[in-house]
Amino acid sequence: MVAAQLLLLAALQQAPAVAPAAESVVVTPNSVELEVDGTRTFEAEVRDADGRPVEDAEIRWIVPETDVAAIDPATEEQANKLARMLGHALVEVKPVFDEPPQGLSPQILLRMRSAFGVAEAAAGQLARDTALMSRGAATLRSVLADTDVEAYPEVWAMTQNALGRNLRGLGELEQKAGYLGEALSAYRAAQTVYRRTRMPLHWALVENNCGVALWSLGRRGEGVVPVEQAIEAFRGALEVLTISRMPMAWAVTEDNLGVALRTLGVRKRDPQLLQNSVVAHQTALTTFTRSALPLHWARTQRNIGAALKSLGEIGNSQEVFEQAIVAYRLALEVYPRDSLPVEWALTNDSLGNVLAALGTRSARSSDLEDAVKAYRGALEVLTPKNLPLAWARTQRDLGNALHALAVGESGTAFIEGAVEAYRASLSVVTHAQRPLDWAETQGRLGAALSTLGDREEGAVHLEDAVAAYRAALGVYTWDEVPFHWARTQVNLG
């Protein structure tokens, strides 16, 4: 899920040494839209009270302020470029932040510190660097501690919103609910300033962010309340973020609504919710057109494919599965392997999931074999070094498909391949860093080892299966995920 865009604002102030006749400083252009890694030159002119230029006036400094409602790079390459740019910028400006120029107002100092924290957090999110994200969070918290909300409400609200986005990112990367709860609190705090009646657009952008945090919280467990609250937040935001007023933010929020509807539809096994999910994604395509925004169009096609896959699983419909396959293959037309290898690989992984689901239900080994082919293709691009979490997820998906193929074989080649794939995934996904993914993979490994143990003499594989199930139960608790806990207990026997 994503929110809106990266907004760059500039605040320019003349130093006390400027001639007394100076009344204002005019910056041209006063707003600009840039591509990732694009540049633009700004000009500044000092003017007197009558609007006439002041000759030889010295402008001592310019303070950049970064207000991130969200960052929405459409590809992994764009994210990496932006992360590198922010990293270089942090190094360049850190001396200024450590020892700011004399004579700056308290508000400007706070804006400078907040901007630095936002940049740290954004660079960390783009690079998936939790240490840098934690430093950004610490910087933003220090700004909030020093900011009087009554005196500087907008600086305070902007910083709360930035902190929320950073904490939500940490919660997703480390799979920790505490961060997600703190993120939601930060967003709600920002909305005490960004009130719907006073600043409706700011309120709506933060309300979308609230929806993303609620969805992340809901995805962790097995209930429906946080997901339903996320849907309510997205729909509230869409009452303000109209297609005529802010078409990009509107489309992003529609797309987010579709993701949340899919999650709720799966939880409730409700085909109508899943159909509504497809409609929301298709609605976003009125802005994310293939001709104008091909990368966003392709990403939305992937979301449509995911919703159709879930709908096919509930209705056991081959036709719907085939529609999902079409959506992923449309996305692959925009993601060629040679120029967008990561997106090509991730889409192949998702395509493999549809083929595997179809093959499992149809008992057609050809669909499962096509799924394995898609996963292996993705793994030619994804590596433990360049994208470790995506590589580990694809290894787990490969294990699932090989396990399904093993049902129809009398030997052990497929099931041994499944065990190997799960263990490869666990070489990257650790209990400390990704507890939920780790537990799921341990459960899958336990099932594969149990199957292997039934086909071979001796008790070694069965003992290993018991150990894997017990490891999963170290994460799956009755309080948080009762269904997963109960299923694992049954498998453990």
CB count within 10 Å of CB 61 equals 14
Residue 296 has pLDDT above 60, yes or no: yes
Q: What region does 25 belong to: left with phi over 0, alpha with psi -120 to 50, or beta?
A: beta
Cis peptide before 29 (omega within 30 of 0): yes
Distance CA 202, CA 305 (A): 32
Chain centroid, CA 100 distance in Å: 34
Q: For tokens 């899958």, what's the residue?
A: 444
Distance CA 262, CA 187 (A): 24
**Secondary structure of the chain in HEC code, one letter for each residue:** CCCCCEEEEEEEECCCCCCCCCCEEEEECCCCCCCCCCCCCCEEEEECCCCCECCCCCCCEEEEEEEECCCCCCCHHHHHHHHHHHHHHHHHHHHHHHCCCCCCCHHHHHHHHHHHHHHHHHHHHHHCCHHHHHHHHHHHHHHHHHCCCCCCHHHHHHHHHHHHHHHHHHHHHHCCHHHHHHHHHHHHHHCCCCCCCCCHHHHHHHHHHHHHHHHHHHHHCCCCHHHHHHHHHHHHHHCCCCCCCCHHHHHHHHHHHHHHHHHHHHHHCCHHHHHHHHHHHHHHCCCCCCCCCHHHHHHHHHHHHHHHHHHHHHHCCHHHHHHHHHHHHHHHHHCCCCCCHHHHHHHHHHHHHHHHHHHHHHCCHHHHHHHHHHHHHHHCCCCCCCCHHHHHHHHHHHHHHHHHHHCCCCCCHHHHHHHHHHHHHHCCCCCCCCHHHHHHHHHHHHHHHHHHHHHCCCCHHHHHHHHHHHHHHCCCCCCCCHHHHHHHHHHHC
pLDDT in tens, 164-183: 999 999 998 888 889 999 99
Residue 394 has pLDDT above 90, yes or no: yes
As given in the structure block, the two tokens for residue 332 are 């692959």
- Tell me the pLDDT band of 97, cut-offs 50, 70 and 90: confident
Phi, psi of 477, rounded to the nearest 5 degrees: -105, 155
As given in the structure block, the two tokens for residue 136 are 């950004």
- Tell me the pLDDT band of 41, cut-offs 50, 70 and 90: low
Residue 209 has pLDDT above 90, yes or no: yes
- The residue among 152, 155, 154, 122 whose CA lies nearest residue 137 is 122
Residue 418 has pLDDT above 70, yes or no: yes
The pLDDT value given to residue 485: 87
As given in the structure block, the two tokens for residue 179 are 């961060």
Distance CA 419, CA 400 (A): 10
Residue 20 has pLDDT above 60, yes or no: no
Residue 94 has pLDDT above 70, yes or no: yes
- Count CA atoms within 13 Å of residue 385 on its CB side: 2
CB 215 within 8 A of CB 230: yes
As given in the structure block, the two tokens for residue 177 are 């609910």
Residue 263 has pLDDT above 50, yes or no: yes
The more confident residue out of 493 and 84 is 84
Lowest-confidence range among 90-94, 231-235, 271-275?
A: 90-94
Average pLDDT over residues 123-127: 85
- Tell me the pLDDT band of 4, cut-offs 50, 70 and 90: very low
The pLDDT value given to residue 361: 86
As given in the structure block, the two tokens for residue 303 are 């979301």
Average pLDDT over residues 276-289: 96
The more confident residue out of 24 and 352 is 352
pLDDT in tens, 43-77: 777 777 777 777 766 554 444 443 333 446 677 78
Distance CA 234, CA 281 (A): 13
CB 114 within 8 A of CB 159: yes
As given in the structure block, the two tokens for residue 481 are 């995920």
CB count within 10 Å of CB 291 equals 6
Residue 16 has pLDDT above 60, yes or no: no
The pLDDT value given to residue 62: 41
Sorted by sequence, the CB contacts under 8 Å of residue 81 that are 6+ apart come out as 36, 37
Q: What is the dihedral of CA 388, 390, 392, 395, to 10 degrees?
A: -140
Q: For tokens 């060629």, what's the residue?
A: 336
Of all residues in the chain, the percent with pLDDT exceeding 70 is 87
The pLDDT value given to residue 436: 87
**Mean pLDDT in the chain?**
85
Residue 286 has pLDDT above 60, yes or no: yes
Distance CA 194, CA 349 (A): 40
The pLDDT value given to residue 32: 53
pTM of the model: 0.80
Measured CA to CA in angstroms, residue 182 lies from 161, 189, 305 at distances of 11, 10, 32
